[in-house]
């Protein structure tokens, strides 16, 4: 099941919809976060709409469905929190290697995350402003999961029960600011404070079953990033060191997680300019368009300005 936040002219007021065969079926709720937080009864109702529509011929489907080409897509949800992990060993090795260091032993003891600002979320094809305080703007190719129900002290093998859906995450970074913050030993903070992108839609786990591996929340799906149409990054979620089960177990250790929280995988190996240029640049420039593409999850494209 694919769920979108979309709008139409003239108001362009975002509302939730169900994506089916390049058409969007409006859903009778305020937003996707409301659907997620409402729980399994509402989810089953949305699934019933999908099942009913899939059982009909195209010309018999709901009259109020809208062609995808006629709508504007927005970020699927406004997260209530954003934890971003550091879970791909290749990315961690490259990041520390840029500083002439080995991966710390502690990284292999447990998955590490930071809390990012959940407010400045951008959706597909939105222009992302470069903050005036950076000269080293970077993209980061990631997958995120959206939590679907509350829990605490969740074991990794049970974690998939708490995942509502997956989406693409671009964790934009101001590398010069981040570099200074990390030298102080507290961060990243302002280096990540200004923007992140989500989208183009939410994909529920049932749509990914054919690519599931033997690890909780991990799928064999290719990931890539293009800048101005040129392929820059390429990886696969199956290469993640810590599974999404491990990430959720860590996030929920001793504290509750709630519907609508977003958990990022961290950057896939080769998934940013920091790695590709050994931290030297060139970096993104005004007018550049960054497109992240992940199998089964779609394409998330933004121009920076």
The pair of three-digit structure tokens given for residue 138, joined into one six-digit string: 């970077």
Question: For residues 276 and 98, what is the distance between their CA atoms, to the nearest angstrom?
Answer: 11
42 sits in which H/E element: helix 40-54
Which residues, other chains included, contact 45 with Cβ-Cβ below 8 Å and sequence gap of 6+?
none
Are 54 and 73 in contact by the 8 Å Cβ rule? The answer is no
Three-class SS state of 211: helix
Q: How much is the pTM?
A: 0.96
Give residue 61's pLDDT: 54
Q: Is 278 left (phi over 0), alpha (psi -120 to 50) or beta?
A: left
Mean pLDDT by 10 residues, the chain (305 residues): 95 94 94 95 86 64 82 98 98 90 95 97 98 98 98 98 98 97 91 98 97 98 98 98 98 98 98 96 98 98 98
Give the count of alpha carbons within 13 A of 207, CB side only.
Answer: 20
Chain center to CA of 234: 16
Tell me the domains of the chain and their CATH numbers: 2-74 (no CATH), 81-304 (3.90.850.10)
Strands 72-74 and 2-7, bridge-based pairing: antiparallel
pLDDT tens-place string over residues 244-285: 999 999 999 999 999 999 999 999 999 999 999 999 999 999
Give residue 63's pLDDT: 64
Are 167 and 223 in contact by the 8 Å Cβ rule? The answer is no
The pair of three-digit structure tokens given for residue 81, joined into one six-digit string: 């929190």
Which residues, other chains included, contact 99 with Cβ-Cβ below 8 Å and sequence gap of 6+?
none
């Amino acid at each position: 099941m694919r769920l979108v936040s979309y709008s139409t002219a003239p108001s362009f007021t975002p509302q939730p919809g169900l994506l089916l065969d390049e058409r969007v079926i409006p859903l009778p709720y305020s937003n996707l976060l409301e659907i997620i937080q409402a729980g399994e009864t509402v989810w089953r109702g949305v699934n019933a709409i999908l099942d009913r529509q899939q059982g009909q011929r195209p010309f018999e489907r709901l009259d109020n469905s809208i062609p995808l080409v006629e709508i504007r897509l927005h970020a699927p949800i406004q997260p209530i929190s954003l934890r971003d992990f550091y879970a791909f060993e290749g990315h961690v090795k490259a990041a520390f290697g840029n500083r002439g260091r080995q991966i710390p032993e502690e990284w292999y003891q447990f998955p590490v995350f930071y809390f990012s600002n959940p407010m400045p979320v951008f959706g597909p094809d939105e222009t992302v402003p470069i903050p005036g305080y950076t000269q080293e703007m970077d993209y980061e190719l990631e997958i995120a999961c959206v939590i679907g129900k509350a829990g605490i002290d969740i074991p990794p093998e049970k974690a998939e029960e708490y995942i509502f859906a997956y989406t693409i995450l671009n964790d934009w970074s101001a590398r010069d600011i981040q570099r200074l913050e990390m030298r102080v030993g507290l961060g990243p903070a302002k280096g990540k404070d200004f923007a992140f992108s989500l989208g183009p839609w939410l994909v529920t786990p049932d749509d990914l079953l054919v690519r599931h591996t033997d690890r909780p929340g991990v799928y064999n799906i290719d990931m890539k990033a293009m800048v101005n149409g040129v392929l820059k990054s390429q990886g696969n979620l199956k290469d993640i060191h810590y599974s999404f089960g491990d990430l959720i177990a860590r996030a929920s250790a001793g504290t509750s997680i709630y519907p609508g929280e977003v958990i990022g995988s961290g950057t896939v190996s080769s998934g940013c300019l920091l790695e590709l240029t050994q931290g030297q640049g060139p970096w993104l420039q005004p007018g550049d368009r960054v497109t992240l593409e992940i199998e089964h999850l779609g394409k998330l494209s933004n121009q920076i300005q």
